[in-house]
Structure 1
């Protein structure tokens, strides 16, 4: 689950077909499971986009693959076109409770063997301002610092910043950090729980904005979608999820936006998770100009496909579908990876993390991205 709990029960996931994949290739889905693997310390799976077959790629409890993890929660791919120093095709994973004093870590994983190195220790003040619980990582080739030889890497932490209202860090190729935007300061609209990001290029393909989903800001605390200037860190509100003036509002006041993605055509999709019992969640489409929202799919509506319980992350797939992880769905409750047709809202199960016939077993899939 994306929200940090006071105590996290680590459930050791049984592993079937644990041989590591030889490499990550273009089109592979990369899925983080927070509590699978050795000692329940998390796993990075490769998931076939067509068949849903899973292969264990990096076991965060296996020290032979590098520093071990605690609570890996989000993943990003470093594209081959990025003009930075990380190297093309690398994988980045945030760990909310890794690093010094369990204040978070950002790992870099090689795409051949799944071996890890610690890129940035969010508890080490020698690398910059410390974090509390980094929960999302974004690699944006269009960011200015990427074009100037930096890494183009941003990390969001919902508990960092002034009054613990969240912050977005920039991280360079040496792992050194700076705060790009402090959601608790008064230089712009304030946040409450920013915890996921996506990159929205402008129409000319140059520059653009960082979209940040905040699960606690806005009208009635039902969340907001911010636009963030990647150069200055200046914030504006694109969509207030508690305001009916901008369209769809979840009738469940406990709901919260937890993930955002952008299609190649610049269409914005936001995943909303209902935290109350029997939730289900939804995907909504957000107009990039007005912030107006329309419902795409309701995970509690069985007529649209298999239902969800705690959808956690979404990503745009090369098939033109949306991929959505759900930490608690599936017949065994070990999680599912759904696909959603953005035109019809119809859902299908791509990968059941409790089904050993689809590969290595999981227990709490969360972060999701595509290698491209």
Structure 2
């Protein structure tokens, strides 16, 4: 893509599975005012799940096949919202969280791929799908990958849960080797109940959005990447079920919650030190926010 296709640094992008009469959409949100603008609507966006950015400014969106059609990975032009399919069907069953590796390859957490879920890798040019790390299965219910993110050292962090929305003491954060696909548990139990979002802050701390932590209201948990120790970043307040988290350039956290404020899809900005919650954007055309990412600053 040409340089003019890059969105302004700091722009917030949200995927929404059900906006505009369940057509699905991708929204641009102004980081200063919270103004909502529609980048793309309908097409294959019904059931949109994850969202991520490529280095050249392309916007990647995954779509769950539980909605009409098949599981799809889309690429959108940053300014026009024009949709193009990268890949579909194949190993996709319920593609969710997205991330992009340093070399441009695309990672997808799929809840049901292969039966027990898997982390898939997609070639950004050919759309070829490969299994990087299959789900382990064996448990009852099996613990499945929900969302993921990359770490500067190249490793991959994945949040996994078994009951998919219920209070689940088997929930965990795992680290996946990008070459071998081997899994190592970083943390499990503790406050984790339904982890559905994961990001890494500028200090290497792992941030987890959990819809059922802290007695059911949900919140954001920070995990020490070396010890797995969990500490509370934010809970209670206006939260009712946080489901995605991203980090802005200044370290502030962006958190999505579809149950907050009487059920209006809400984008919160959270102070990473105090946990103070600020409503940046809510209601409007939001219906079921599913993913959040931020356009990075150059360099």
TM superposition score normalised by structure 2: 0.89
Are 2:82 and 1:115 aligned?
Answer: yes
Deviation at 1:275, TM superposition (A): 8.6
What corresponds to 1:233 in structure 2? Answer: 181
Pick from 196, 200, 214 the counterpart of residue 151 of structure 2: 200
Deviation at 1:329, TM superposition (A): 1.9
Q: Distance in 2 between matches of 1:320 and 1:214?
A: 25
What corresponds to 1:351 in structure 2? Answer: 281
Q: Detail structure 1 runs of 4+ shifted over 4 Å in the superposition.
A: none
Q: Distance in 1 between matches of 2:35 and 2:54?
A: 23
Equivalent pair of 2:211/2:218 in contact (CA under 8 Å): yes
Deviation at 1:196, TM superposition (A): 0.4
Q: Which moved more, 1:208-217 or 1:316-325?
A: 208-217
**Structure 1 residue ranges without an equivalent (≥5):** 1-21, 62-66, 80-87, 203-207, 243-247, 355-360
What corresponds to 2:161 in structure 1? Answer: 215
Deviation at 1:263, TM superposition (A): 1.2
Equivalent pair of 2:112/2:118 in contact (CA under 8 Å): yes
What corresponds to 2:205 in structure 1? Answer: 267
- Which residues in structure 2 correspond to 1:272-291 (within 5 Å)? 272-274=210-212, 279-291=216-228
Pick from 154, 173, 176 the counterpart of residue 107 of structure 2: 154
Deviation at 1:137, TM superposition (A): 0.8
What corresponds to 1:249 in structure 2? Answer: 191
Equivalent pair of 2:100/2:106 in contact (CA under 8 Å): yes
Q: Distance in 1 between matches of 2:168 and 2:247?
A: 29
What corresponds to 1:323 in structure 2? Answer: 254
Q: Distance in 2 between matches of 1:115 and 1:352?
A: 25
**Structure 2 residue ranges without an equivalent (≥5):** none
Q: Distance in 2 between matches of 1:310 and 1:185?
A: 27
Distance 1:220 1:32, change over 3 A: closer
Structure with the higher strand share, 1 or 2? 2
Are 2:101 and 1:140 aligned?
Answer: yes
Equivalent pair of 2:87/2:127 in contact (CA under 8 Å): yes
What corresponds to 1:294 in structure 2? Answer: 231
Deviations 1:8-59 (A, max 9, x none): xxxxxxxxxxxxxx9732210001111112x412110001111111101101
Q: Distance in 2 between matches of 1:261 and 1:78?
A: 16
Pick from 22, 28, 47 the counterpart of residue 11 of structure 2: 28
Are 2:18 and 1:42 aligned?
Answer: no
What corresponds to 1:171 in structure 2? Answer: 122
Equivalent pair of 2:194/2:213 in contact (CA under 8 Å): yes
TM superposition score normalised by structure 1: 0.72
Deviations 1:263-282 (A, max 9, x none): 12212111111199x93201
Where 2:33 maps in the other structure, the secondary structure is coil
Where 1:135 maps in the other structure, the secondary structure is strand
RMSD value, Cα: 2.4
> Computing the radius of gyration over CA atoms, which structure comes out larger, 1 or 2?
1
